[in-house]
Structure formats: C-alpha cells, structure tokens
Amino acid sequence: MITFLIRAAIFLVSAFIGLVAADLILPGFSLHWNDWWGILLAVVIFAVLQSILAPWLLRVTRRHAEAFIGGVGLLSTFVALLIAVLIPAAGIGIDGAVAWIVGTLIVWLVTALATWLLPPLFIKKRVSDRRSS
C-alpha cells in the first residue's frame, strides 16, 4: 500500500513540475494561478490520464505498430493535456499549435526526468526514517 502511495505521489509531483515548467517556459501554455483548485484538478487529471494512457497505448502500439513505440510517451502526454484542457474546471490553457507541440515536449521531458529522479529522494527519506526509529 505504501509503495502505491509513493508511486502516486511521484506521479502527482512530476505532473505538477512538468506543467509548471511548461507554464514558465512557453508562451501560450498557461496555468491559471488565481485558481489553485483548478491547477490541482489539472495536475490530478493529467497524472491519472498519463498513468492510464501510457501503458494502454504501449500495448496497442506494440500489437499494431511497433515502429511507433518510441512515441507512446509523447502521444499519451498530448492526449492527457488535451483532455485536461477540455475540462472547464481545470486550471490549464494551451493556445496555438506551437504551444501544443512544444508544450507536449516540455511536459513529457520534465515529467519523465522527474519520475526518474524523484524515487531516489523518496527512498532515501524512507530509509533514513527507518534507521532513526
């Protein structure tokens, strides 16, 4: 159960970092900072969709179009962003083709890096907590 919670926290934190990075770097990609609940909703929607879409798209791609396996992460990021933007209560907006394309790349890259770099931080903290108790 704790492993599931740690993985969920890592997905949520990496989604937040990826969306904030795109907001800071890219004109046309915006988080609505005056609506914290909307940002939280956008992060949760994006993280949940990404965690569902990526494995599903990988299976479908492996079965039908193996040459496109490398693009699964980008495609699942794009679809998750698209759905998050379409939900009116979510605090995210993307305006223009460049923002969609580059935003997808930024969010994908940053979330991938965060998902790779965050687990050691969580594991160190848990090991340190166990040793001290």
pTM (2 d.p.): 0.83
28, 96 contact by CB (below 8 A): yes
Which pLDDT value is given to residue 83? 93
Q: What is the mean pLDDT of each run of 10 residues along the chain (133 residues)?
A: 79 94 96 91 92 86 76 90 90 95 96 88 66 68
Beta-strand (E) ranges in the chain? 29-31, 92-94
* Burial (CB count <10 Å: 0-12, 13-18, 19+), residue 19: buried
Task: Mark out the alpha helices in the chain (DSSP H runs).
Answer: 2-25, 36-64, 72-86, 97-132
Distance of CA 3 to the CA centre of its chain: 19
Which pLDDT value is given to residue 73? 87
92, 32 contact by CB (below 8 A): yes
Which pLDDT value is given to residue 72? 83
30 vs 7: CA distance, rounded Å: 26
